[in-house]
């Protein structure tokens, strides 16, 4: 399952808050490490999201180009003149 960058940022903030309010040292350490892990995962999620946006844009451009080429082919005169049988 791919995580969204928004979820990762939310979880990072939640863990940072846990670390700040922790009464036990080991609880604070664990929460700080979890926050850092969520931060790193968030960076990865942002890159994946950006890659998906770029891929969609490239696919859309390619589709428009293909449509334009097909349109030009349809409007271009045939290589051989049409002969009427009769």
Taking the C-alpha atoms of residue 44 and residue 35, their distance in angstroms, rounded to an integer, is 14
Query: Helix crossing, 5-21 with 25-75: angle to 10°?
Result: 170
Other Cβ atoms within 10 Å of 35 Cβ, number = 20
Rg from Cα positions in the chain: 28
Which of 13, 35, 32, 11 has its CA nearest to residue 22?
32
pLDDT value for 56 = 94
pLDDT value for 80 = 60
List, for residues 40-59, the tens digit of each pLDDT value.
999 999 999 999 999 999 99
pLDDT value for 40 = 98
Please identify every stretch of the chain with a pLDDT value under 50, giving residue numbers as ranges: none
């Amino acid at each position: 399952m791919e995580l969204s960058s928004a979820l990762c940022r939310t979880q990072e903030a939640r863990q940072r808050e846990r670390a700040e309010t922790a009464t036990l040292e080991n609880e604070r350490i664990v929460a700080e490490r979890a926050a850092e892990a969520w931060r790193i995962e968030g960076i990865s999620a942002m890159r994946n999201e950006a890659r998906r946006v770029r891929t969609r844009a490239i696919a859309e451009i390619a589709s428009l180009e293909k449509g334009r080429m097909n349109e030009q082919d349809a409007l271009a005169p045939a290589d051989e003149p049409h002969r009427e049988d009769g």
